[in-house]
Structure 1
Amino acid sequence: MRAGIIGGGMIARVHAHAVRASGHEVLAAASRDRASGQRAGQETGAKEVHSTSLELIQNPCVEVVHICSPNDTHPDLVRAALEAGKHVICEKPLATDRADAQAMVDHWRSTDLVATVPFGYRFYSSVRELRARLSTGEDTPHLVRGTYLQDWLSRPTDTNWRVDSAQGGQSRAFADIGVHWCDLLEFVTGQRITSLIADLSTVYDTRGTSSEPVRTEDAAMLVFRLDSGTLGSVAISQAAPGHKNDLRIAVDTPVHSYEFHQEEPNTLWIGGREQTRIWNRADEDASLLSTAYDQSPGGHPQGWRDAFTSFVADTYRAARGAEVDGLPTFDDGLRAAVLTDAVLSSAASGRWVHIG
């Protein structure tokens, strides 16, 4: 299949690599204007460069549109791509507010197209193993906890377009990385967050050379309940020095405790009263759900780009009509918007928010 990638930078390069590694073609690139489109073309190695994003979308040879541009551009680009009959992979968040995200999902549901959101952590073999073990009914969670910590905005000189609420949305740390953690939690447990109380903090009043006040959060703390009544908590921060991409999730059950650490993705810590072990990807007791995402033999580490490639490969398989388990669609992107809205509401009111 032939892909068109809108936007540049690191994540566009990751998308381009994943398309090729999945056996498909990066045909076209575009960005906000011709000059930035040329840069996007160089970064992605696309065969063609379009002057505008809409020109790329209208290219009859492009079958899948990858939207890697700033958050506020997503609704219009998604709408145009769906109306042009293209399958879509859109970076999260889908939109800067819940209403726009809902409208995008409604539009998608009126088509027979595939539309996905890169919740790529679902595609680690160890995550699939954790999901398989929690799905048996023998290990029922009674406590979940975790963190997602980064340090790329830990200095007052650090800034990015995501800091601007007009481009990135009212929430930054939670909408950018907190939703990844929540998606992973709901994916492995098969349960939904039904209520939460949250608080937000901003470390620096201004950033970079701008005198404009920062209106988006650097950190978030959540306490929540799952639909089973299970209690949980998570700390989110983009200003935690030394933590590059430190996502951790722990699930306690009456029989075992499980811990997954994203920076050590080939292992799963399994605790028990009689025995505690480190499960390694491709161990003999690995489930079929896990081994389906092994791209290399045991002992050969797989990482984030491998998981992202599996996500893109599954999206393209679905676009060709295959049934794919655990594919994060626009429904999951809307779920992230619902949770973000609940976090902002709770932080503003200081009260628990129930999520329908």
Structure 2
Amino acid sequence: MTTDVIAPTRTRRAGFIGGGFMAAVHSRAARAARAELVGAASSTSGRAAAAAERLGLGAAYDSFEALLADPDIDVVHICTPNTTHARFARAALEAGKHVVCEKPLATTAADAVELVRLADERGLVAAVPFVYRFHPMVREARARVAAGETGRLLSVHGAYLQDWLSTPGDDDWRVDPALGGPSRAFADIGSHLVDLVEFVAGERIARLTASTSTAYAERADHVAVETEDLVALVVEFASGALGTLLVSQVAPGRKNALSIELAGTEASIRFEQERPDTLWVGRTAASSIIERDPARLDADAARLSLVPAGHPMGYQDAFNAFVADAYAAIDGARPDGLPVFADGLRAAQVTEAVLASAERRDWTEVPA
């Protein structure tokens, strides 16, 4: 695989299904990748028109079917509520479009399996934005672990903490299983945490035991809330390494506190998303902070470092890099670490294992 992103051989023409916050993030990334932003479809033609105007898209489609029927659109970005992802992704693939689908790819592993198969059969690029992989210092951590700098993996500690649902008055469509699916906190942000841990470690979780909690049974617009606010996991990797993971959307003061720490026989390594330009490397004799300096990083980390050391990079930069790599893959490149539908399937499988374990209160195997 190459670690270089190849410039597009022609201008990509992108369509967007959905017009909310994530559509704005996707459209900025597509524009940065020099795509032509053709238009949007949404739940109504009026919402599509509003999204097209707000996001600077070329047109508004009366329906997602009309968008998919446009022969000029190469790639479709799906930015809609969770339970619609599988239906829209399936329709886009059947229409011969490359797909960038928000996570979760599907709210059941069975649907995700079908989407992986369909993308493979059609020979289409199908990507899922596990974008935290695209922070340069995540790639640096991954390279150091792969090179043996940390030694044999012994333990992992990770957390993803947010506070945007921390009071009963806080609410969102994701609370409703009809829109968000059977899992909320884990499917929404825990999936990012597991993907990041497995990506950096180069190992997969083999089994887990989980406990979930719903802090508020009633919210502003929802009663009898069923989806979880918190998830705590103990995990065991295929190698025998152990880990603890905590996921919460009710942690006051924590805005997007995603962190992972891997401890091996030789060293520990820690990445924090809210401080994305540094890594902490711990050793028994001394510890150090590694700065994001392209001249001193692994090649895969350096190629994602678009600005010199000391100039901060963040979430949108990571998202832009993800979309650039997805578009490069459409042009025939093989960018290292691009998260595809198989990674979306992995997230669905882990999510189902978490829910099953929490219900049975027992260890659950995660499909390999």
TM-score per shorter chain, which class?
A: over 0.9
Indicate the residue corresponding to 1:169 in structure 2: 181
Counterpart of 2:20 in structure 1 is: 9
- Report whether the alignment pairs 1:189 with 2:201: yes
Instruction: Give the superposition deviation at 1:28.
Output: 0.9
Contact 1:218 1:238 in 2 (8 A): yes
Aligned to 1:134: 145
1:280-312, CA deviations, whole angstroms, 9 ceiling, x for partnerless residues? 111653111210111111111110100000000
Distance 2:294 2:338 in 1: 25
Q: Which residue does the alignment assign to 2:211?
A: 199
**Partner SS, residue 18 of structure 1:** helix
Taking the aligned partners of 1:355 and 1:73, their CA distance within structure 2 comes to: 25
Which of 152, 155, 158 is the aligned partner of 2:164? 152
Could you tell me whether the CA contact under 8 Å between 2:328 and 2:335 is conserved in 1? yes
Could you tell which deviates more after superposition, 307-316 or 75-84?
A: 75-84
1:30-71 deviation per Cα after TM superposition (whole angstroms, max 9, x unaligned): 101101111221232101110111111111111000000011
| Partner Cα separation in structure 2 for residue 169 and residue 341 of structure 1 | 11
Report if the CA contact (8 A) 2:294-2:308 is conserved: no
* Correspondence list, 1:86-125, <5 A: 86-125=97-136
Contact 2:30-2:324 within 8 A present in 1 as well:
yes
Moved more, 136-145 or 234-243: 136-145
Runs of at least 4 residues off by over 3 Å: none
**Cα separation, 1, equivalents of 2:153 and 2:117:** 33
Amino acid corresponding to residue 43 of structure 2 in structure 1? R
CA shift digits 1:67-115 (9 cap, x unpaired): 0001111122111111111000000001122221222222112111000
CA–CA distance in structure 2, aligned partners of residues 99 and 244 of structure 1: 33
- Secondary structure of 1:39's counterpart equals helix
Q: Given that residues 294 and 302 in structure 2 are in contact (C-alpha distance below 8 angstroms), is that contact kept between their aligned partners in structure 1?
A: no
Q: Which amino acid aligns with 1:157?
A: G
Determine the structure 1 residue equivalent to 2:90.
79
The 1:175/1:209 distance shift into structure 2, 3 A limit, reads: closer
Following the alignment from structure 2 to structure 1, what is the Cα–Cα distance between the partners of residues 268 and 109?
35
Deviation at 1:275, TM superposition (A): 2.3
Say whether 1:292 aligns with 2:303.
yes
* Structure 1 vs Structure 2 CA RMSD: 1.0
For the pair 1:178 / 2:186, whether they are aligned, the reply is no
C-alpha change, 1:27 and 1:184, in structure 2 (3 Å) is same
Structure 1 residues 1-55: Cα deviation after superposition (integer angstroms, max 9, x where no partner): 0100111121111101001111212111110110111122123210111011111
What pairs up with 1:264-343 in 2 under 5 angstroms?
264-282=275-293, 284-343=295-354
3-state SS of the aligned residue for 2:46? helix
Are the equivalent residues in 2 in contact too, given 1:171–1:344 (CA < 8 A)? yes
Secondary structure, in 3 states, of the residue corresponding to 1:142? strand
Superposed CA offset, 1:255-285 (max 9, x none): 2111100000000011112221110111653
- Residue 13 of structure 2 contacts residue 36 of structure 2 at CA under 8 Å; is this kept in 1? yes
Moved more, 125-134 or 67-76: 67-76
Q: TM-score w.r.t. structure 2 length?
A: 0.95
- Does 2:269 correspond to 1:258? yes
Q: Could you tell me how far apart the structure 2 residues matched to 1:298 and 1:91 are?
A: 31
Question: Tell me, which stretches of 5 or more residues in structure 2 are unaligned?
Answer: 1-11
Distance 1:92 1:209, change over 3 A: closer
Q: Could you tell me how far apart the structure 2 residues matched to 1:307 and 1:98 are?
A: 27
C-alpha distance in 2 between matches for 1:233 and 1:273: 22
Contact 1:266 1:281 in 2 (8 A): yes
Amino acid at match of 1:20: R
> What residue in structure 1 maps to residue 9 of structure 2?
none
Indicate the SS of the match to 1:345: helix
Unaligned runs of 5+ in 1: none
Q: Quick one: distance in 1 between partners of 2:246 and 2:287?
A: 26
Residue equivalent to 2:49? 38
